[in-house]
Chain A
Amino acid sequence: MKATSDFPNINERKLDGLRENGEPYRVLVVDDSIFVTKQIGQILKSEGFEVIATASDGLEGVEKYKELSPNVDLVTMDITMPRMDGVTALEKIIEFDKDAKVVMISALGKQDLVKKSLLLGAKNYIVKPLDRKKVLERVVTVLKS
């Protein structure tokens, strides 16, 4: 009986959050909801990504991006936030680093803002409710492009 082929070792699969050299991709999570921040963090960490920092509004997000640059590989950016919204924060980050990889996180019904974000340089977007598959698919697509 070939037990090993019946139960393939899941550890053989390379985690999506790791580069070829085994180093994790570093993600900055910008969201005013601690629930969403935690949810994104859990999904990313389960695939080996490192959440290098979190920010609870756009202004803090821009500050953290500048502070940590060039050590941020990707930003997840909520759209509706206090102090500074996600679209403005995206604009400021792109102004500072035109190659920044920012993925917008949006509730339904914000199509106009999502479109605007994509024109301003966001690389992709995810509509809530978030699920593991959707988040990983979009994040990996952006990192590999």
Chain B
Amino acid sequence: MRVEYINPFVEAAYNVIQEVLQSDIVRKDLYLKKTSHPVLGVAAMVGLAGDVEGRVLIDMSQETALHIASTMNNEELTEMDELAKATIMEMANMITAQAVTKLFDLGFKFDLTPPSLITGSNMQVSNANEVEALIVPLETPQGLVEINVAVRERM
């Protein structure tokens, strides 16, 4: 997978998370997963279909999701209730909207699915044959958020 597909998502995530949390975040080294790999506990997923196809996961532990949702709402949230879920989905919406704007400017054309939120423990994600996932961890004061992109050019 070409890195140019993941960069807009990482940049957008970096900008949006920094803005909504009002704090500094640190971008860690990118890594690659070819096979099934675990997801952290709360994952917002957006599908892409068009010139490029695949999916983007914005993945974090439940603890991190609650810290982020609490910060964004200015109040302590202690469970993944409707408000906490809507907050994480909204964050995913803002990230994908910003990334897609950049990809459109680069000339890629595709549609997006509305985000879905997946929560649970001990989960794994598997990708279609020969689609590897590129993962960029972002360290925030609220915990680790992983931007996990698995897309390919349509054949």
Tell me the A residues contacting B by CB distance below 8 Å. 33-36, 38-39, 42, 80, 107-110, 128-129
Contact = CB atoms under 8 A, between A and B. Distances in A.
Interface of B: 16, 19-20, 72-74, 82-83, 86-87, 89-90, 93-94, 97-98, 100-101, 104, 114
A35 to B, nearest CB: 4
B17 to A, nearest CB: 10
Nearest to B98: A108
A38 B101 contact: no
Task: Report whether over half of chain B's contact residues are helix, strand or loop; otherwise say mixed.
Answer: helix
A85 B83 CA distance: 22
Contacts of A42: 74
B90 A109 contact: no
24 contacts: A33-B89, A34-B82, A34-B83, A34-B86, A35-B86, A35-B87, A36-B86, A36-B90, A38-B73, A38-B83, A39-B72, A42-B74, A107-B94, A107-B97, A107-B98, A109-B98, A109-B101, A110-B97, A128-B94, A128-B97, A129-B16, A129-B19, A129-B20, A129-B94
A135 B120 CA distance: 35
Contacts of B86: 33-36
A72 B72 CA distance: 28
A107 B82 CA distance: 21
A29 to B, nearest CB: 14
A35 B73 CA distance: 8
Contacts of B20: 129
A35 B83 contact: yes
Contacts of B101: 108-109
Contacts of B98: 107-109
A108 B101 CA distance: 7
Contacts of A107: 93-94, 97-98
Nearest to A42: B74
Contact of B97 (A34, A35, A109): A109
Contacts of B73: 35, 38-39
Contacts of A36: 86, 90
Nearest to A106: B97
A7 B1 CA distance: 59
Given A35-B72, A35-B86, A108 B104 contact: no
Nearest to A111: B101
Contacts of A34: 82-83, 86
A33 B90 contact: yes
B67 to A, nearest CB: 15
Given A34-B83, A129-B16, A129-B94, A109 B100 contact: yes
